[in-house]
Structure 1
Amino acid sequence: MAGDAASLISSQAVVYRVHGMDCSSCAKSLEKHMKSLPAVKDVVVNFSTGKMQLVQEGLEDEAIVKEVAKAGYTAMSLSKRANKQAAHTDRTGERLAIISGVLLVAGFLGSYTSVSPMLVTILYALAIISGGYRPARSAFYAIKSKSLDMNVLMSVAAIGAALIGEWLEGATVVWLFSIGNLLQTKSIEKTRDSIRNLMDLAPPEAWVKQGDSLTRVSVEDIGVGAVIVVKPGEKIPLDGIVLQGTGSVNQAPITGESIPVDKMTGDSVFAGSVNENGSLEIKVTKLVEDTAIARIIHLVEEAQEKKAPTQAFVDKFAAIYTPVVLIMALAVIVIPPLFSWGTWGEWFYKGLELLVVACPCALVISTPVAIVSAIGNAARNGVLIKGGTFLERAGVISAIAFDKTGTLTEGKPQVAEVIEIQGSEQEVLAIAKTIEERSSHPIAQAIIQYADAHNIAALAGEDFQAIVGKGAEATINAQKYYAGKPALFEELGVDLTAYKEQIQALQSEGNTLVIVGTSQAILGMIAVADTIREITVSAISKIKAAGIDEIVMLTGDNSGTAQKVAKQTGVSRYFAELMPGDKVEAVKALQKEGKVVAMVGDGINDAPALATADLGIAMGGAGTDTAMETADIVLMADNLEKLPHTINISRRALQIIKQNIWFSIIIKLVALVLIFPGWLTLWLAVLSDTGAALIVILNSMRLLRMKP
Structure 2
Amino acid sequence: MKDESNPKPAAAATPAATELCIAAVEQPSVTQRGISTVALDPTRSAVVYTYDPQLITDAQVEKLARDATGEFHDRWQTCTLHLNREGGRLCESCSLRLERSVQALPGVRRATASYLGGALTVTFDQTQLSDSGLLSALRRIGARVRPLTATTSDGLQTSTVTIEFWLAGITLLGMLTGWAAGNWAGPPALMFAAYIAAYVAGGYFGLRASLQALRRGVIEIDLLMVLAACGAAAVGQPFEGGLLLFLFSLSNAMQSYSFGRTKTAVEALIRLRPNKALVVTPAGTQEMLVEQVAVGAHIRILPGAHVPLDGVVIEGESSVNEASLTGEALPKNKRRDDAVLAGSINIDGTLLVRVGRAAADSTLARLIRHVEQAQSEKAPTQRLIDAFEQRYAVVVIAATAALIVLPPLLGGISFQAAFSRAITVMVAASPCALVISTPATISLRNCKCSAPRCTLQGWRPRGGSRHHSGGGN
Aligned positions of 1:620-635 closer than 5 A: 629-630=469-470
- Find the aligned partners of 2:439 and 2:114 in 1 and give their Cα distance: 13
Is residue 57 of structure 1 aligned with residue 57 of structure 2? no
In structure 1, the residue matched to 2:425 is 351
- Find the aligned partners of 1:274 and 1:22 in 2 and give their Cα distance: 43
In structure 2, the residue matched to 1:547 is none
Following superposition, the deviation at residue 185 of structure 1 comes to 2.0
Residue 78 of structure 1 aligns with an amino acid whose one-letter code is L
- Find the aligned partners of 2:186 and 2:380 in 1 and give their Cα distance: 59
Q: Choose the corresponding residue for 2:309, options 210, 225, 238.
A: 238
Three-state SS of the structure 1 residue aligned to 2:158 is: coil
TM-score norm. by structure 2 comes to 0.61
- Find the aligned partners of 1:332 and 1:4 in 2 and give their Cα distance: 47
Is residue 45 of structure 1 aligned with residue 108 of structure 2? no
Contact 1:154 1:174 in 2 (8 A): yes
Contact 2:255 2:440 in 1 (8 A): no
The share of aligned pairs that are identical, in percent, is 26
Q: Choose the corresponding residue for 2:273, options 191, 202, 220.
A: 202
Following superposition, the deviation at residue 220 of structure 1 comes to 5.1
Aligned positions of 1:16-415 closer than 5 A: 16-18=82-84, 26-29=91-94, 32=97, 44-46=112-114, 49-53=117-121, 55=134, 57=136, 77-79=147-149, 86-87=154-155, 88-91=157-160, 92-97=163-168, 100=171, 115=187, 117=189, 120-191=191-262, 193-194=264-265, 197-209=268-280, 219=290, 222=293, 224=295, 226-255=297-326, 260-302=331-373, 305-306=376-377, 323-326=394-397, 328-330=399-401, 333=404, 339-340=412-413, 343-358=417-432, 360-362=434-436, 364-365=438-439, 368-369=442-443, 372=446, 380=453, 387-390=458-461
Task: Report the count of equivalent residues.
Answer: 380
Following superposition, the deviation at residue 239 of structure 1 comes to 1.7
Three-state SS of the structure 1 residue aligned to 2:347 is: strand
Following superposition, the deviation at residue 291 of structure 1 comes to 1.5
Select the structure of larger CA radius of gyration. Answer: 1
Contact 1:239 1:268 in 2 (8 A): yes
- Find the aligned partners of 2:229 and 2:310 in 1 and give their Cα distance: 55
Contact 2:259 2:446 in 1 (8 A): no
The 1:353/1:291 distance shift into structure 2, 3 A limit, reads: same
Following superposition, the deviation at residue 236 of structure 1 comes to 1.2
TM-score norm. by structure 1 comes to 0.43
* 1:98-138, Cα deviation, whole Å (9 max, x unpaired): 55556556656665677454x75355334423432221111
- Find the aligned partners of 1:388 and 1:35 in 2 and give their Cα distance: 20
Three-state SS of the structure 2 residue aligned to 1:45 is: strand
- Find the aligned partners of 1:238 and 1:21 in 2 and give their Cα distance: 40
- Find the aligned partners of 2:172 and 2:420 in 1 and give their Cα distance: 27
The answer for unaligned runs of 5 or more in structure 2 is: 1-17, 21-71, 123-133
The 1:273/1:310 distance shift into structure 2, 3 A limit, reads: same
- Find the aligned partners of 1:370 and 1:178 in 2 and give their Cα distance: 16
Residue 45 of structure 1 aligns with an amino acid whose one-letter code is A
The 1:45/1:356 distance shift into structure 2, 3 A limit, reads: same
The 1:34/1:293 distance shift into structure 2, 3 A limit, reads: closer
* 1:629-679, Cα deviation, whole Å (9 max, x unpaired): 359xx9xxxxxxxxxxxxxxxxxxxxxxxxxxxxxxxxxxxxxxxxxxxxx
The 1:231/1:138 distance shift into structure 2, 3 A limit, reads: same
Following superposition, the deviation at residue 168 of structure 1 comes to 4.5
Residue 347 of structure 1 aligns with an amino acid whose one-letter code is R
Contact 1:30 1:142 in 2 (8 A): no
Aligned positions of 1:274-673 closer than 5 A: 274-302=345-373, 305-306=376-377, 323-326=394-397, 328-330=399-401, 333=404, 339-340=412-413, 343-358=417-432, 360-362=434-436, 364-365=438-439, 368-369=442-443, 372=446, 380=453, 387-390=458-461, 629-630=469-470
Contact 1:252 1:258 in 2 (8 A): yes
Three-state SS of the structure 2 residue aligned to 1:237 is: coil
- Find the aligned partners of 1:248 and 1:255 in 2 and give their Cα distance: 15
- Find the aligned partners of 1:368 and 1:272 in 2 and give their Cα distance: 29
The answer for unaligned runs of 5 or more in structure 1 is: 69-74, 394-613, 617-626, 635-708
Following superposition, the deviation at residue 229 of structure 1 comes to 2.4
Residue 90 of structure 1 aligns with an amino acid whose one-letter code is S
- Find the aligned partners of 1:13 and 1:238 in 2 and give their Cα distance: 22
The 1:321/1:129 distance shift into structure 2, 3 A limit, reads: closer
The 1:325/1:10 distance shift into structure 2, 3 A limit, reads: farther
Contact 2:119 2:376 in 1 (8 A): no
* 1:332-387, Cα deviation, whole Å (9 max, x unpaired): 5566776549923431331231341336424542774477468757x615xx7764
RMSD of aligned alpha carbons: 5.1
Following superposition, the deviation at residue 292 of structure 1 comes to 1.0
Residue 16 of structure 1 aligns with an amino acid whose one-letter code is H
Q: Which segment drifts farther, 230-239 or 203-212?
A: 203-212
* 1:162-202, Cα deviation, whole Å (9 max, x unpaired): 43344444344334432332123212433565455333333
Contact 1:22 1:188 in 2 (8 A): no
Is residue 15 of structure 1 aligned with residue 81 of structure 2? yes
Contact 1:230 1:280 in 2 (8 A): yes
Contact 1:322 1:358 in 2 (8 A): no
The 1:336/1:194 distance shift into structure 2, 3 A limit, reads: farther
- Find the aligned partners of 1:362 and 1:170 in 2 and give their Cα distance: 16
* 1:574-632, Cα deviation, whole Å (9 max, x unpaired): xxxxxxxxxxxxxxxxxxxxxxxxxxxxxxxxxxxxxxxx999xxxxxxxxxx99359x
Following superposition, the deviation at residue 159 of structure 1 comes to 2.4
